[in-house]
Amino acid sequence: MILGRELGSGNFGQVWLGECRGMTVAVKRLHQQEFDEAVLEEFKKEVAMMVTLTHPNLVLFMGACPIPGNMQIITEYMCNGDLSTVLGDKSINLSFVQKCKMAKDITNAMMWLHNCKPPVIHRDLKPGNLLVGVNYIVKLCDFGLSVFQVDKYLQDTGSAGGSMLWMSPEVLKGEPFTEKRDVYAFGLVLWELFTGDEPFAEYFDPQEFMNAITIRGERPPLGKLNKNLAKLIDACWAHSPNVRPSMSKVLPWINQIMIEVLPCPKATEMWKLNWPESAEVPFPQFAAGMATHFGEKYDPDAPTVKFQCLRRLICGTVVTNPIVKLERFALVLNWMGAFEVRGQEPWLNRMVTLMSCPWFHGDVERPAAEKNVYSSNKNNSYLVRFSLTDAVRTPFTLSKVSKKNATTITHLRITRAPDGESHWIFAEKNGQQQKIEAQGGLPGLILMAKKALKLENVVQGSPYADLFPMNQDPSKMQSLEQTGPAEEASASESSSF
């Protein structure tokens, strides 16, 4: 066994990065190493509990050394530390869907414990005991305080086990408890996960904190949270254990919250109808669901250009087993708009029209966009891309080379009206900002803005060019650059410019 740096410290021991038999592991060494019966029993209890419990969302037990002076537990290593560390790292920006997936990981772990026979009560659920691995998978650890619930109720003897901030009212009062004490702690963990804040930071005196929880029934504020999420948290940390939901009932609740993040009611309805329990689905299933919704036909062996475009837009260039993730679908909907928009063609047609435009480069990031524009070696070269800054209000960005200075690239945001029926962009004329607005989709706006913005040369290299080989015909390229797709050529000619 080779020990590296210290990863953290808990109630009973320090955790170190280690290497065992060629594998990177986490090594928990007990603070107290002298031969003490109470310490040894506590150690044996945690090892026995970890040997018994196996689940993808429980940290994997790999071995232990019970020899006094070298007592340690070896588990799998989780590369992102604990949840408390992740939430405190401001460079990590977790999306709402990602947080929902992490909440589901915690729920699955707790469901496994509570559905054991007899049930297992963790008794110390908190962010510090939730480890985060690759792709932000969450696994529960630290079973030193866990107990089997042989009787209907359990009673702590002496000081209550666990961390005070996450203790339920009945535990703080020294009353009998059930697995619902874990549900209370889960409510607080959910609140921390979705707000990024520390609960009860205003309290320093333990007795005052206990009075606030047990007598005044105080809880952290819920005002800024999604309404359904707030209801779930409020139910979990209810004062009465009997009111708190079981973890089995929490799981479908989180699934519904996650699906509701979709910015289009019709899309939410479609996802709930087809995949109510999933945050991701194989593309063939997704395409079949979309086809049914829009009255189209989908043949996985011979997909039409619509479904080829759909796959590329949502799954990228993945060749085998493409997966549609709810998070990505939500982002694409923010960019493309709702399924149904008055005065615009159907969503799938709108998607194909946009992706067929040679100047459209999808969700290329700013540095890559600038490199592509520079490499065009032509003045007034331009491309249009998805905006990663504010996908709802300004879903597109036009990147172009200035005619006056070929080394200067301008990035202009394109705004979509709240109802989705028009797009606009601002151009400078005589030192003033003038608004150019076109009804319908983005291609109509680009067509209308060509003269005012001096958009002369399309930057080549669209990631969707291979889906439209006819657009690469030199004899047709000039026409496409000048007019855009035929479907959009009739865009409204009214402009405030």
Is the Cα torsion angle 240, 241, 242, 246 positive or negative in sign?
positive
CA–CA separation, 399 and 414 (whole Å): 11
Q: How many domains does the chain have?
A: 4
- State the pLDDT at residue 279: 85
- Rounded to an integer, what distance in angstroms lies between the CA atom of residue 139 and that of residue 108? 9
Q: In a 3-state reduction of DSSP, which class is residue 413? A: strand
CA–CA dist 257, 103 (Å, integer):
11
To which residue do tokens 């940390």 refer? 237
What pLDDT, on a 0 to 100 scale, did the predictor assign at position 35?
A: 55
Looking at the structure, tell me whether residues 315 and 440 fall in a common domain: no
199 belongs to a structural domain: yes
d(CA 357, CA 136): 36
- Is 5 exposed, middle or buried, given 0-12, 13-18 or 19+ CB atoms closer than 10 A? exposed
Question: Is the N-terminal amide bond of 118 cis, ω within 30° of 0?
Answer: yes
Q: Is 255 found in the same domain as 270?
A: no
For residues 316 and 200, membership in a common domain is answered with no
pLDDT tens digit sequence for 429-487: 777 889 999 998 899 999 999 999 989 899 999 999 999 987 655 444 444 444 444 33
Rg (CA), the chain: 28
d(CA 452, CA 411): 15
Query: What is the number of H-type helices and E-type strands within the chain?
Result: 16, 17
Closest by CA position to 105, among listed 8, 211, 250: 250
On whether residue 410 sits in a domain, the answer given is yes
Last residue of one domain, picked from the residues 59, 76, 93:
76
DSSP string, 340-405: --TTS--HHHHHHHHHTSTTB-TT--HHHHHHHHHHT--TTEEEEEE-SS-TTT--EEEEEE-SS-
Same domain for 206 and 300, yes or no, is no
Please say which residue of 234, 259, 284 terminates a domain. Answer: 259
Q: Which domain holds residue 249?
A: 83-259
In a 10 Å sphere around its CB, with 0-12 CB exposed, 13-18 middle and 19+ buried, how is residue 329 labelled? buried
- The pLDDT, as a whole number, for residue 39 is 62
From the number of C-beta atoms within 10 Å of its C-beta (0-12, 13-18, 19+), residue 369 rates as: buried
Q: Which residues contact 165 (CB under 8 A, 6 or more apart)?
A: 126, 188, 199, 200, 209
Provide the H-helix boundaries in 126-195: 169-172, 180-195
Classified as helix, coil or strand, 279 is: coil
- For residue 330, tell me if it sits in a domain: no
| Apex 26 CA angle, 67 and 198, nearest 5 | 120
189 and 212 share a domain?
yes
Catalytic residue positions, numbered = 124
Pair of tokens at residue 334: 């923010």
Last residue of a domain, one of 18, 41, 76: 76
* Same domain? 97 vs 202: yes
Residues 319 and 269 in one domain: yes
Predicted pLDDT at 492: 33
Distance set, CA 52 to CA 10, 25, 48, 113, 148 (Å): 22, 20, 6, 11, 11
Residue 219 is encoded by which pair of tokens? 């809880």
- Could you tell me how far CA 398 lies from the centroid of its own chain? 27
Same domain for 284 and 243: no
Give the Cα separation of 380 and 76 in Å (integer): 55
Using 50 as the pLDDT threshold, list the residues of the chain that sit under it.
145-160, 474-497
**Rounded CA separation 480/490 (Å):** 14
Q: What is the pTM of this model?
A: 0.72
